[in-house]
Amino acid sequence: MSDFVYKADFLVSEVDQYDQRFMSRIDQERMSANVDRLVDNIKLRGQLDPVGIGRLKGDTRYLLVYGFTRFAAILKIGWSTIKANVYDDLSESEARMLNAENNTMRLDLNAWERAIQIKTLKDQGVAIDSDDPEKQTICKIMNMSRANVYNWLKVVSYDSSKLHSAIASDKVKLTYALVFARYPVDITDAVIDECIANDWSISTLELKLLAAVHRPILDAGDAIASDGKSRSPILDAGDELASLSSDHSPILDSDAAIDNIHRAGTILMRFTREQLAGLSDSDRIKLHDGLKALLEVIYR
């Protein structure tokens, strides 16, 4: 990593304020509020922490590497100089790591901004993890476990701007985002608002997404029935099971029965194709019929 020189009176005018390639903050409203709070603090106590100012290899102009909120506060106050750690001949990768390290220490980013920073570091060629204790890695820079880094990369690469916006506004947490990311984008986008509005549990979300995936099966069955044609034994059996929901014994109303149904649905979602292929034909038909009955209840 390049060395730096601390300067207590670096000229603000020497910094290219419009080159913000290393800014990690996405939530501008939150940043504006932070700037206002910092203005009052700096007026009272002075600037306590230096910003990072760098000149990339081959460039002649300085730009901000970290400390964008502090720099914006100084500009708002109107000071002509700023306390800065000044780096020369930085590579872009080095500048990215400096920015990430500084933001991690200050805990200044929300979850989505940190996720974007993880992807940026990976795109710059920074290793996710390493057995070498001296090597800079994403896990070290972001102070995250290897599993969390991989999880965030999975969510960032999932092509749903609606989900990304919900994460950025703190409406969807990583645990929920990982569930959404296992399903097609059109299905995720169709239910995400309802999930947020109704504060679904993870299990409920799983069931709703599973139902959405299998909705065409129910529609196809309805279309066959409306044509008056004979239906397959599988669909007929599914109808018979579904009809039991209106004529069941009182014991099915108990909390224990509800828990059992919920547990069964959760187990059903975990079946792999390999496990299904290993079942007998009769068992697969039973499983299919049970799933159809469950989906019809969900879609009432």
Same domain, 93 and 20: yes
Domain that holds residue 206: 158-213
Task: Please choose, from the candidates 187, 228, 186, the residue with its C-alpha nearest in 3D space to the C-alpha of residue 206.
Answer: 187
For residue 246, the model assigns a pLDDT of 45
Q: Are residues 92 and 181 in the same domain?
A: no
Q: Which of 174, 198, 213 finishes a domain?
A: 213
Q: Strands of 51-56's sheet, edge to edge?
A: 4-11, 81-90, 51-56, 63-66
pLDDT of residue 199: 93
Split into its structural domains, the chain has a count of 3
What is the phi-psi region of residue 46: left when phi exceeds 0, alpha when psi lies from -120 to 50, beta otherwise?
Answer: left
Q: What is the mean pLDDT of each run of 10 residues along the chain (300 residues)?
A: 84 92 75 87 90 91 92 94 94 85 68 86 87 87 90 94 91 94 92 94 86 62 46 45 46 58 67 76 76 66
Q: What is the pLDDT of residue 221?
A: 45
Is 138 part of any domain? no
pLDDT at 75: 94
Residues 96 and 56 in one domain: yes
Query: Do 176 and 82 reside in the same domain of the chain?
Result: no
Q: Which of 189, 183, 120 is nearest to 160 (CA)?
A: 189
What separation in angstroms does the CA of 70 have from each of 34, 65, 84?
A: 9, 12, 10
In a shared domain, residues 4 and 98: yes
